[in-house]
Chains A and B, each alone.
Chain A
Amino acid sequence: MSPILETQKLCKSFGALAVAQNIDFRLHAGDRRALIGPNGAGKTSFVNMLMGALAPSSGRIFLGGEDVTRVRQAQRVKRGLGRTFQINALFNRLPVLDNVALGIAERRDAARRMWRPASSHKEVIQEAAELLSTLGLAEDALVPVKDLPYGKQRLVEIGIALGLQPKVLLLDEPAAGVPSYESEKILSSLERLPPDIAILIIEHDMDLVFRFARRITVLVQGEVLVEGTPEEVRRDRRVHEVYLGEAHHA
């Protein structure tokens, strides 16, 4: 089976600082992959390059078999790439439903319409309401996002990305800053996602990572150190030294 997302020899440097060094990475439909690594390993930069928010210094990115290295972010999204942000990137003043509806309208090509009122686009609103329902946010649909507790805001982050119906979903620390009882909700929401979506999750919560991911890639100083099943990664001494070791010592 050909990968839905692939990078070949992906490199990125900021001056002397290399945040990605020859990264060869493959993600298949339905994959549940985690990308872990110590702070500064280059995980978010890698996601930014996959999305098109950051241009690589060299190397290539393929989405659905097509070279998208020079394709704009908006076009990559239309081809099935969706993401969440490490730090909430929400429309804080808008109600929860509007946050999700903006993405859905974009996907349905309704966002460029200038004449009919937004509230008359029932198909967008209905889809947004159904999505919020699956995330357990139906009761908060009309609440401005800024008034939501942080855990629910993280769910809205995921909701916006899901509204794009992505083939590949990149989750950048979805449980960051969330208390453990709320990270359970996030995990169960992720586990209920359609099985055919390929998911790449960056996360520091090792419990969540090892419960969710079927394969794990460990990134250190912009290089892939190890890739394997959770058990293989757990047993790998190099991982203990550079990453898990840090956690144990902490």
Chain B
Amino acid sequence: MSGYTVDPRIRWTEYLPWVLALAAFFLLPEYLALGARILIFVLFALSLDLILGYGGIITLGHSAFFGLGAYTAGILSAKLGVNDNFVQLAAAAGAAALLGALTGAVILRTKALTLLMLTLAITAILLEVANKMSSITGGADGLSGVVVNPILGSFRFDLFGKTAFLYCLAVLALSWFLVRRIIYSPYGAMLTGIRDNTARMHAIGAPVYLRLVLIYTLSAMLAGIAGALLTQVNQFVGLNVLGFEVSGELLVMLILGGVGRLYGAFVGPVVYLVAQDYLAKQFPEYWYFGIGVILILVVMFAPSGILGLIDRIKTKRRPA
């Protein structure tokens, strides 16, 4: 997907997610709230793919940035009266990026299980801080009273979720463009090098640690934006955005779609959240069982995710 021998031009298949999203907007108006949630999680998964799929940074604490972004947007509006959506997004991006840079500078000196534990610890600390600082965050009750001004002064968030859907789609499109540029750039190629063989990257003179901190910071920024979008769309933020479950679910979504494939971050959240929505309606008490079955099937038959499975089928069908 990245490298010096890869054609960076956009292929026709890359237009599919956008065409499908717009088709869903017109054809499935009753699912726009779910659609906006899916778009937010696609952005969140994209941010994780950047570090896990391309940089090889394993984490179970990405919800720290998502949650910080969500709370930054929420606090700005509910406590400080800053209701401009772009200011909220920018502040959330900045706060998450700062946390990413500070924590990345510490934890990226470690590897494997130590790194995994530290990412978990950071999100756990943030969760507890948000829980205890209830005067600012609303604590366990959550933070309500979030207001978002009409987008660009004209488009008010409506009851049916049309504005929210298109707004999330636009932010996702811009973020996707940014991530795609990075992946196809020399930096992206260098990241895959670090993921595949860190020792060699050291031996060719790459400042591996600094490069990882930078991509971790960018990834945190995108996760923060995703979190802010969730707050703006729901006009509420609760402690669940900082929970371990969110990080775990996100990882599952990415694995489901395919790690390190860019569009795995699109496929995974769609499949996961649609399945979750359907199963929760059909089997309100046992829906997690259905999710578990899907996961087992994917791990057994498509370890590289759904996109990996499609690639395998295409390779088998190709004449030798």
Which residues of A approach B to under 8 Å, CB–CB? 51, 53, 72-75, 77-78, 82-83, 85, 89-95, 97-98, 101-103, 105-107, 110-121, 124-125, 128, 141-142, 160-161, 163-164
Contact = CB atoms under 8 A, between A and B. Distances in A.
Contact of A118 (B188, B202, B207): B188
Nearest to A142: B5
B74 interface: no
Contacts of B204: 77, 102-103, 106-107, 160, 163-164
A83 B197 CA distance: 15
Contacts of A117: 8, 181, 184-185
A82 B208 CA distance: 16
B199 A119 contact: no
B186 A121 contact: yes
Interface of B: 2-8, 181-182, 184-190, 192-193, 196-197, 199-208, 211
B1 to A, nearest CB: 10
Given A85-B200, A89-B200, A111 B206 contact: yes
Please provide the 8 A-B residue pairs with the shortest distance between their CB atoms, ordered closest to farther: A77-B205, A117-B8, A103-B204, A101-B4, A89-B200, A98-B3, A114-B187, A111-B190
Contacts of A164: 204-205
Contact of B203 (A85, A105, A116, A124): A85
Contacts, number: 130
B212 to A, nearest CB: 13
A43 B250 CA distance: 46
Given A74-B202, A117-B184, A164-B205, A105 B6 contact: no
A53 B186 contact: no
B202 A73 contact: yes
A90 B189 CA distance: 14
B197 A73 contact: no
B3 A112 contact: no
Interface centre among B185, B187, B203, B207 (most CB of A within 10 A): B203
B interface majority secondary structure: helix
Nearest to B182: A114
A132 B200 CA distance: 18
A89 B203 contact: yes
14 contacts: A74-B207, A74-B208, A82-B203, A89-B197, A91-B197, A92-B196, A92-B197, A94-B192, A95-B3, A111-B189, A119-B4, A119-B7, A119-B8, A142-B5
B4 A112 contact: no
Given A94-B192, A105-B190, A53 B5 contact: no
A74 B200 contact: no
B200 A160 contact: yes
A53 B4 contact: no
B189 A105 contact: yes
Contacts of A106: 190, 204-206
B116 to A, nearest CB: 23
Nearest to B187: A114
B81 to A, nearest CB: 36
A103 B181 CA distance: 21
Interface centre among A51, A118, A164 (most CB of B within 10 A): A118
A107 B176 CA distance: 29
A74 B205 contact: yes
B4 A97 contact: yes
A62 B196 CA distance: 31
Interface centre among A82, A105, A107, A164 (most CB of B within 10 A): A105
Contacts of A85: 199-200, 203
A113 B201 CA distance: 16
A125 to B, nearest CB: 5
Contacts of B197: 89-92
Contacts of B2: 118
Contacts of B184: 117-119
Contacts of B202: 53, 73-74
Contacts of A72: 207
Contact of B186 (A90, A91, A93, A112): A112
Given A113-B185, A117-B181, A118-B6, 8 more contacts: A74-B202, A94-B192, A105-B189, A111-B189, A112-B190, A114-B185, A114-B187, A142-B5
